Each structure stands twice: as structure tokens, then as C-alpha cells.
Amino acid sequence: MSAGLCGGASKTNKAITPGGKKRGVGKPATKAKGELHMLSVALDYEYPNELDACALTASPDAHNFMNLGKLAGAKDVVFLCDNSKVSSQGWPTKDRVAREFSSMASRCKAGDFFVFTFSGHGTQGEDSDGDEEDGMDEEICLFEQDGTYNPMKDDEIAELLAEFSDGVKILVISDCCHSGTICDLDGGELDHLEIIHLAAVTDEQEANDLGAGGAFTMSLIECVEDLVEERAVDPTVADVYNMALKKFNNFDAQTFQWNVTASGDPNTMPWPLWPGADSGFTVNTLLD
């Protein structure tokens, strides 16, 4: 998110519409049957660190997503946060995030859903293996507890996603700067997996922190509230994303993005963080 360290290429900033592998909104979602697993990582950066990354309000994003997840029936939920004032299961070092990722992959079986949310700073670094057209890797900004910078690059996130079994439905939400292709889905190596990535911005842009959470997260959460109010039935990832794009994609220099593997279909994958049409779910954000 923008506000300090940050000064993103992804599939498109347009709505998810008919055509090819990305079928349009209107086709009913495949009914969710499996278990929901969540890994939420948030960094508020309220400590001296090697990059002088400024403080953010990222932890509310994780709480909002986890609240939805629990309403949706998730029992396997892991929350990592660097803010000592926030209750979590540990500090999000690179090693800890990778271990939790791998552990969750081992618990997921075909038909299950895995949701990974990241809120914090994102940036770009020199491409380490020559797979980036622009010569830059995207990375999420992680620190050791002593403030030493130890990021997780897009190549490494892709390697962790590759640990999941076929048939697991995967949704990644990144609310950070330069995150359009943070999952490296365009190379084809992950095309056997059903992965959809929703990003706050392109690889070149900065994401907005509004002082009580990220603009992208708030947009998605507000749209879930709207769909509950409309008593929607089994909304898809495309339903939520397209509504957010239509209603809220007007933040300064921030363009929402989506990306998907060949096996993924945002128009038939159910929105996994769905509290239910009868839940009465409401949320108060700065976008109200």
C-alpha cells in the first residue's frame, strides 16, 4: 500500500466478461462443498525496519476477511501479524509464512477452498531468473522481528501455490502496491490448478491505505454486504469483483486487477467468503 516504502503486469483491469476461458457473469456458481482454509497475513510496520517502510493500517483488512471466512464456516484459519497489539498466531517472517502455506497445502484436499490474503507493503526488485519482461520481480514486504528485510518474491509465491493438489480451489487477494502479477500465474506452470488472483493494483501502481484499512479490501467487503442485502444466491468471484470494479474502482492512480490460471474460472468459482444471504451481514467502512 502507498504511504511510505512504495513510492505491479496482470491480466486486465476490465470486468470479468464472456469469452474464451473467462466466461461472463450470469452462469451459476459451482456449489461449494469442500472445507474452507484461510491464511491471512497483515503487516502494520509499526517498528524501525531496514527499508524505513512506513506504518500502515493493514491488520483491519485481515480481520474483515477472517470474519467473513468464519461466517462462511472456515475452521482452519491462520492469522500472522507483525503488530504486537493485535492478537495473532505469530510474526509473519518469510519462513513462517512459507511454513504455514505448506502446512495448509497438506491439509487441503480436492474440493476444498484455500484463501490467502495479504495486506501490507509491496514493491519490486531485480528479476532473479530472467522470467520478467520488465526485468523486475514483484515481492511482498516481510521483515524479521529485528527489522531486517526478507521479502517473498512472486517466484516463491508461485512455488508455494504449486504445492496444492489438483481440485483445490484457490483465491489469492493482495492489497498492496505493485501486486498485479505477484502470483506469477502467466507462465503456465500452474495451469493445472484452479487459481484466481485479485489484486489492488497493477505491477506499476501503488495501493491506497485509507487509515483504517486498504481501499481494495474495503471495496470487496462492501460488495459482499451489498450482495447479502440483495439476498444473492451463491455469488461467484466474478460477481464480487465486478461489483467492486463498478462501484469503487475510482481511487487515485489505483486500478483493480484480476488474473487466473487456465483451469480457474472466476465466473463459476463461488466466492468462498460468503456469509450467506440470510446472515444479515453488515460492515462499516470508510466507504459507507
The domains located in the chain, with CATH, are 36-260 (3.40.50.1460)
Which pLDDT does position 125 carry in this prediction?
74
- 221 burial type by CB count under 10 A (0-12 exposed, 13-18 middle, 19+ buried): buried
163 or 33: which carries more pLDDT confidence? Answer: 163
SS3 for 132? coil
Whole-angstrom distance, CA of residue 245 vs CA of residue 241: 6
Which pLDDT does position 127 carry in this prediction?
65
Pairing of the two strands 36-42 and 113-119: parallel
Whole-angstrom distance, CA of residue 184 vs CA of residue 152: 12
Poorest-confidence range of 30-44, 120-134, 151-165, 219-233?
A: 120-134
Which pLDDT does position 21 carry in this prediction?
33
Mean pLDDT, rounded, for 61-66 = 98
Whole-angstrom distance, CA of residue 206 vs CA of residue 234: 32
* C-alpha cell belonging to residue 18: 464472456
SS3 for 258? strand
Q: How confident is the model at residue 13 (pLDDT cuts 50, 70, 90)?
A: low
Quickly list H helices, 9-137.
59-71, 94-107
Whole-angstrom distance, CA of residue 65 vs CA of residue 63: 6
Which pLDDT does position 251 carry in this prediction?
87
- Asked if residue 25 lies in contact with residue 42, where contact means CB atoms within 8 angstroms, the answer is no
Q: How confident is the model at residue 18 (pLDDT cuts 50, 70, 90)?
A: very low
Position 22 pLDDT exceeds 50: no
- Asked if residue 170 lies in contact with residue 114, where contact means CB atoms within 8 angstroms, the answer is yes
- Region of 100 (left: φ > 0; alpha: ψ -120 to 50; beta: rest) is alpha
Quickly list H helices, the chain.
59-71, 94-107, 154-161, 215-229, 237-248
- Side-chain-side CA neighbours of residue 126 (13 Å): 1
Position 83 pLDDT exceeds 70: yes
Position 183 pLDDT exceeds 70: yes
